[in-house]
Amino acid sequence: MRQAGIAGAETEHRNRDEAVAVAEGDQVSNDEIIQIVERVQEIDLIDEKGNEVAIIEETVVEIETGQSNAEAVISVELFNDPDHRREHFRTAKTALLLDVLDEGAKKLDVKLLPGPQAPLDLLRGVYRDHEVGVPLNLDLTLSEFLKQEPVTHHFAVELVLAIQINTRWRVAPEEQMTPKAILELAGLPPAEYSLYYPSDSVEPLPPDTPVKLFRGQRFEAQRDGKYGQEAAGEHREG
């Protein structure tokens, strides 16, 4: 005759390290996850050969302690990158989008201009089918942004055509601009100022000849009135 019964039960607590990251959008935290393993050992005292048989069953219950969802896994790519190469990293949900932009630029190995504290460069959300949204408010926290619809954990860093005139940084609207237009962009009247390359402070750039611009390019503006003098001379000749 067979007899069976519960011979004993034990509960084991294990601390498990935080899971290594995960697919895009997974949420992680620094909270401790307690894994409780309940073992129930059922003993069948006699098998067909007359031997004792022990059957062990385990039930696993996980409990996450503390404040949950303190961090998020996000990804970044360069705006207009045809290959959509992504970099992933984790950041606190309390971080500003300004910090997300800064960290994203570091992951992509690009430099923000004029600097990470007040960049002219932009951060955009990337949605389904690589659709890119409008420039984001960098004063928002990541948590505030993730409450907006549609939700995305993927961002694009847009490097603008930032140029420097003396100490003033501006975003050039075109890849080629005349020196007069560059001065006006910086809020400097061409009748009073002339534009120079920093390496040549003697001869100003021709005022109406377009200059091909590149990101981070520097110019020197001098209040010498040369453009104004040229314009006045042309007016007299006309």
C-alpha angle with apex 156: 149 to 84, nearest 5 degrees? Answer: 115
| Res 134: pLDDT | 97
Judge contact between 47 and 90, C-beta under 8 A.
no
Distance CA 15, CA 26 (A): 21
Fold observed for domain 162-237: Ubiquitin-like (UB roll) (3.10.20)
| pLDDT tens digits along 140-174 | 999 999 999 999 999 999 999 999 999 999 999 99
Please determine, for residue 237, whether its predicted confidence score (pLDDT) is greater than 60. no
CATH no., domain 71-158 = 3.10.20.90
Percent of the chain with pLDDT over 90: 63
| pLDDT tens digits along 171-216 | 999 999 999 999 999 999 999 999 999 987 789 999 999 999 999 9
* Tokens linked to 19: 């899971």
Q: Is the pTM of this model over 0.75?
A: no
**Residue the block writes with tokens 């959509």:** 84
Mean pLDDT of 212-233: 89
Are 71-158 and 162-237 the same fold in CATH?
A: yes
Q: Mean pLDDT across the chain, nearest whole number?
A: 80
Judge contact between 183 and 189, C-beta under 8 A.
yes
First vs last Cα of the chain: how many Å apart? 124
What's the alpha-carbon Rg for the chain, to the nearest Å?
32
Distance CA 108, CA 5 (A): 62
Please determine, for residue 136, whether its predicted confidence score (pLDDT) is greater than 80. yes
| Res 228: pLDDT | 87
Judge contact between 182 and 219, C-beta under 8 A.
yes
Domain-wise residue ranges, the chain: 4-64, 71-158, 162-237
Comparing 10 with 92, the larger pLDDT belongs to: 92
CA distances from 97 to 82, 100, 153 (A): 24, 5, 12
Distance CA 66, CA 99 (A): 25
Distance CA 68, CA 96 (A): 19
| pLDDT tens digits along 11-55 | 343 443 333 333 344 444 444 444 444 444 444 455 566 666 555
| Res 5: pLDDT | 40
